[in-house]
Structures are given as C-alpha cells and as structure tokens.
Chains A and B, each alone.
Chain A
Amino acid sequence: MIEAKRSVAKQNWFKRHENATPLTVLVCFTVVIVILQLIMSGERGKVEFPSFITPVNLLNILMQVSVPGIVAIGMSMVIIMGGIDLSVGMLASLVSIITALGISVWKLGVLPSILVGVASSVVLEMLVGFVISRTKVEPFIMTLGAMIAFQGIALLLCNSREVVMQGELDFLKANLIDGAIDPVNGLNLTIPPYVVIFLAIVIIIWAVMKFSRFGRRIYAIGCNPNAAYLAGVNVKNTKLLVYAVHGLLVGIGAVLLLARINVGIITNGQNMEIDAIAMAVIGGIAMSGGKGNIWGTLIGILLLGSISNAMNMLRLPSEVSFVAKGVIIMVAVSASYLSPSIKKLFSSARNT
C-alpha cells in the first residue's frame, strides 16, 4: 500500500491529476492571448482591457460551444466505452431538418415536432448501436456508413433545400439576464436557455459516469470488454444503451442548434463530428477507451471553442485558427507524455 502511494507520489503532476494537462493548456492559451492582446493594444497607443476575457466574450464562447459541447459529451461516453461515432454531424442535420419540417411543413406543433426530432435521433442511434453491439463490425466503418445514409435521408426529406422557420423556437434563445450590460465595453450580456441546458447536461452525465453502476460499466467495457463480460456486465446491452443516450444528446443538441440558426439546413451539423471528437480527445478521453472524464471534456470544449474567437480578437485570418487548433490538439494529447522528458532535460541542464 505504502509502495503504491510512493509510486503515485513519484509520478509527475500531469500523470497524477487526470485533468491537469487540458487545464494547463487552457490556462496557458488564455494567458498567451491576454498578453498578446495587451501588447497589441499597447502598440496602437492605448492599453485596453483584453476583450478576450470580457464577460460578454466569455458568454459568447459558451453560446458557441453549447451545441457541439452537448454532442461532445455524448461522444465522450461512446469513446470511453471503446467506440466512436462519425455520424453525429449528419444526424444533427437530419434531426434539425425533421424538427423544422414538423414545425413549418407538417404543422405538428412545436413540442410534438421536438419530440419527433429527438425520438428519431434516439431510434437511429439505437439502430447503429444495435449492429455495433451485436456484431463485430468496426464502429468507425459502421458510423461512417450511417453518416452518409443520414445525409441522404436529410437531403431527401428537405428536397436539398433549407427549411425556413418563423422563430418558433425563439424561447430557447431568449435572454435570461435581459438588461445586463458588460461593464467593460457596454455590450448586452446574454445567457440563453440552451447554455443552461448544456451546463445541466454536463453535470448530469458527469454524475452518471462517476457515481452510477451504468457509468462504471462503461469504463469497465472500455478498459477490457472480455473482463467486463466475465465480471457479469451485459456488454451488448450496455453498449446499446450508451448509443441510445448518445442519440438523445445529439437530438437535444440538434434542436438547440435549430433554435440558434432558425433554419433546417444540411450544413447545420457539418464537421460537428470532428469537433466533438477533438473536444473529447483534448479533454483527455483516450481513444482506446476506459480513460477520461466529463470535466476533462468540458475543458476540451472550452479550449477548442475559444480558438477561433481568440484568433478574431488578435485580428488574425481564420486560416491561422486551423493551424492553432491542430497544434493545440497535438500539444494537449502529447503534453503528459512529453513532460517527464522536459523535466529531465531541465534537471540535466541544471546539473551541468
């Protein structure tokens, strides 16, 4: 026992604390942007409060990451279980189109349309999950096929056009703090309900993964599905249930996306799968499964979501933000492995 404690104590800080790496990268990124902003404003002749950390911008980032964030939380569950889902982007587009059609064309009413949209997401994800859990098909290939099929269904349903809304979902983006003003720049502060829903989902899924039997089974399957099976875990049904929960989260995210954009269009969820996977991985979720937690994913969501915004604040062209995103993913993923080598390098330099 004492030996085990000693060996843990010997490990570097990044190894000891699961979320240390993404948190360090987020803090370093924020500090660098703030310093660069201060230098830039100084060069213009007037040092101003860095707009990157103004309340209005922090809320702006939260608004922008809410929908991909909800999808990333579901993706984290799937990856921890040892799976992957490439179909989430097109599924989100499909659900937003179904919901928009329900409201604007089929005249089902707002609530029934939302229910139809979310239910279709759960059913489609369960179909995918059923095949993955009952066969030995690679989730990567299965969900790639599903992505293409969902895109086709969505285009067929909307006749390759956009489904226009008349603001029926505006209640999901109403300002909960109407009248609040940013003390720094005087802009209106906004917290729409979808941000609150996003934060609530983060807390619920964290609690499920941390404290419930279902959560522990997901980790067990991700670590070693055979061992989990021998320990009495119903691997097939647990996998199916994870895809169902993931479908529910994608459905909720798609409805909130529709509320934000106010139009059902095929590009709504385009590339969302890439962002969702990147957010989870930056947050320390291991692609091999069984490792990571939801707080880490939240850090990954905030970090990835703030890169484009920060590039804007630094007045850099958007092409740079892709480079920054790529570098940050590489740094976040490799930092915990690189830190002992860097430490060794410093200590040897000190000794000589």
Chain B
Amino acid sequence: MKKLLLFTLAALMMLASVACTPAPATTTTEAEAPAETAAEAPVAEEPAAEPKLIGYYKDAADDYYKAGYEVFAALAQGEGWEIIDVVGQGTAPEQIAAIENFIVTGVDAIVCVQNSPQASAECIEKANAAGIPIFFATHNPPSDPLPTGFAGYDWVQTGKYAGESASRMV
C-alpha cells in the first residue's frame, strides 16, 4: 500500500513537472512584448492551449509502474493531453529505441521508467539534442547529463533507512 501511495505521489509530481515545463521560445517572445501594447489591445479570450502529446515509457509490465502510469494518464487526460504508452520487456536497447521513436513522433515531453542509468544517460542526450524535456519516474536517473525532472525515491537513502531500522530491531 505504501509503495502504491508513493507511486501515486510520484505520478502526481511528474504531471506537475511536465505541466511546469517552460513554454517554447515563441511564447517567450510574446510574453516579452511591450506592456503598453498589451494594455491597449482589446481583451481577447485566451486561446485554448494546444493539447500536449506525452511519450510514457515503462521498463517492464509491473503493477506499481502501471499504478503510477494510470494516475498520470487520468490527470493528463483531464487536461486533454494524449499519451503514447510503451511497455518494454526489461531491456536497455528497448528503452533507447522507445525514446528515439518518441522523438521522431514529435512528442512534447517524455516520461521514462528506466532500465539502466547508463542507457538513460543516452536517452537524456538524445532528448536534449531534440529539445524535448525528459522526466524520470521511480528510479534515480544519472546526474550527468541531467534530466529535466525526476519523481521517485532515493534508493541509497531508502537502503540507509532500512539498515538503520534493522539495526534498531536487532
């Protein structure tokens, strides 16, 4: 149950991070327009934000990964976003191939539950080169190159807590 709650929380954090991704450069230019122009302009209705397309990769068919994904998917669909859901079979080449496919499909952001940190480093490089934000869920991504965001546990800290709690009980 605790794990499930953690995954749900991770999915919520992930959605929040994707939503907070900086808007494309063209939007920034619009925002930097002179203030008086904005004031003089008639108050127009805000154009509806274009629905985002998210590529979501899970390393394996796993109940916890799926629970996290389902929360993410429910929230994303509430926003009108579309998700491409890819489930791997626990191999590093599949993870890289999935990220490459997301990039050429033209997704707005990528969420990845990784197979291996080193394979993730390759994925981050590819996503960065294509200018697509990439987020990691559940497992720690590598620290170099840095992903756009991460929601999950610190496995080292988790191990430390487990050790401390075991030592108290012995």
Contacts and interface: CB of A to CB of B under 8 A. Distances in A.
B17 interface: no
Contacts of A165: 118
A169 B100 CA distance: 19
A340 B55 CA distance: 43
Interface stretch (B36-44, B78-86, B157-165): B78-86
Contacts of B86: 312, 317-318
Interface in A300-326: 308-309, 312-313, 315-319
Main secondary structure of the interface of B (DSSP, over half): helix
A187 B100 CA distance: 12
Interface string B110-122: 0000011011011
A316 B100 CA distance: 16
B166 interface: no
Interface residues of B, number: 31
B105 interface: yes
A63 B103 CA distance: 14
Nearest to B126: A190
Contacts, number: 88
A187 B130 contact: yes
A99 interface: no
A265 interface: yes
Contact of A262 (B91, B101, B106, B122): B122
Contacts of A238: none
Contact of B119 (A263, A271, A308): A263
Contacts of B55: 312
Contacts of A318: 85-88, 98
Contacts of B10: none
B12 to A, nearest CB: 22
A189 to B, nearest CB: 11
A308 to B, nearest CB: 7
Contact of A309 (B82, B101, B121, B130): B101
Main secondary structure of the interface of A (DSSP, over half): helix
A57 interface: yes
A260 B104 contact: no
Contacts of A263: 92, 116, 118-119
A257 B94 CA distance: 12
A97 B36 CA distance: 64
A187 B129 CA distance: 9
B16 interface: no
A317 B85 contact: yes
A308 B100 CA distance: 11
A270 B89 CA distance: 9
A11 interface: no
Q: Which among A185, A187, A263, A270 has the highest number of chain B CB atoms within 10 Å?
A: A263
Nearest to B91: A267
A67 B91 CA distance: 14
A260 B93 contact: yes
A140 B123 CA distance: 36
Nearest to B51: A44
Contact of A56 (B53, B97, B104): B104
B151 interface: no
Interface string A311-352: 011011111000000000000000000000000000000000
A187 B127 CA distance: 11
A315 B83 CA distance: 8
Interface string A281-315: 00000000000000000000000000011001101
21 contacts: A60-B104, A64-B100, A67-B93, A260-B93, A260-B96, A261-B118, A261-B119, A261-B122, A262-B118, A262-B121, A263-B92, A263-B118, A270-B89, A270-B91, A315-B53, A315-B82, A315-B105, A317-B85, A317-B86, A317-B87, A318-B87
Interface of B: 53, 55, 82, 84-93, 96-98, 100-106, 115-116, 118-119, 121-122, 129-130
> A-B pairs with the 3 shortest C-beta distances?
A263-B118, A267-B91, A312-B101
